[in-house]
Amino acid sequence: MDPELQSILDRFLDEDVLMPLMMGAVAVTAIVCGSIGSALKFISRERTRRELAAYLSEGTITPEQAERILKAKTPNSCM
């Protein structure tokens, strides 16, 4: 193995560097996953509103039914 590459690996595998690096990677991953989850939740909510507006304009449902659906709470999940 190349001595230069070996010295770089030795620096990264040092306990004082590896643990903070791993914790930082976990934190960044958690933030990205949380952001994606929030974005998906927002997109789903907006899609539901658009579908309800379409049903209202068709006359398929009443405004009271649409309001009741919008006010309904979603069950708690992992997101």
Neighbours of 61 (CB within 10 A): 15
Banded model confidence at residue 78, pLDDT cuts 50, 70, 90: low
Mean pLDDT of 53-67: 94
pLDDT in tens, 3-39: 888 888 888 788 788 888 889 999 999 999 999 999 9
Q: How many percent of the chain have pLDDT more than 90?
A: 57
How far apart (Å, rounded) are the C-alpha atoms in residues 56 and 72?
17
- How far apart, in whole angstroms, are the C-alpha atoms of residue 22 and residue 44? 33
pTM of the model as a whole:
0.63
In this structure, is the dihedral angle defined by the CA atoms of residues 45, 47, 49 and 51, taken in order, positive or negative?
negative
Distance CA 66, CA 19 (A): 52
